[in-house]
Amino acid sequence: MTDRDCIFCKIAAGEIPSATVYEDADFRVILDLGPASRGHALILPKNHYKDLCELDESVAARVLPLAGKLGAAMKRALGCAGFNVVQNNGTAAGQTVFHFHVHVIPRYEGGPEMVAWKPGKADPEELAAVSSSIQKELEL
């Protein structure tokens, strides 16, 4: 289940070299070529899924534990004070490579602000309406 035109399929398969932090049968973890901070890593499944909506559930179940272990290793190895776990779906959300991946981004004391948004103001009626419309479409 790979896509011949997908760069992350090729990296995950080892056909294109990468700074690999971890590899097993299902995943390769690499360092990002355009890092947001020192140690910025990407978790790539070896199979091709366009985004989170396509991701196999057994693969999905391994992603967060892997991200947590990576973040803990980054704190010990790099001295970062924390880390962000970021996952973009769709162009509007900033996805540029359409092979599911998770960013694990070390955050250093005094480092630049990132992964932030300006909080809006919630109207209780609007919250109830939005909550209900999403709930109707939720397929679990």
From Zn ion, ligand 5GP, none, interface partner of 26 (C-beta below 5 to 8 A by class) = none
Nearer to ligand 5GP, 36 or 59 (CB): 36
List, in order, residues 6 or more apart from 95 with CB less than 8 Å away. 51, 88, 89
Nearer to ligand 5GP, 113 or 137 (CB): 113
Nearer to ligand 5GP, 50 or 62 (CB): 50
- Interface with ligand 5GP (CB under 6 A): 7, 11, 18, 30, 32-34, 42, 88, 94-97
In the 3-class helix/strand/coil scheme, how is the chain assigned residue by residue? CCCCCCHHHHHHCCCCCCCEEEECCCEEEEECCCCCCCCCEEEEECCCCCCHHHCCHHHHHHHHHHHHHHHHHHHHHHCCCEEEEECCCCHHHCCCCCCCCEEEEEECCCCCCCCCCCCCCCCHHHHHHHHHHHHHHCCC
Minimum Å gap between C-beta 119 and ligand 5GP is 23
Minimum Å gap between C-beta 101 and ligand 5GP is 6
From ligand 5GP, Zn ion, none, interface partner of 3 (C-beta below 5 to 8 A by class) = Zn ion
Side chain identity at residue 63, one-letter code: V
To the query of whether residue 48 is one of the catalytic residues in this protein, the response is: no
Minimum Å gap between C-beta 111 and ligand 5GP is 17
Active site residues: 101
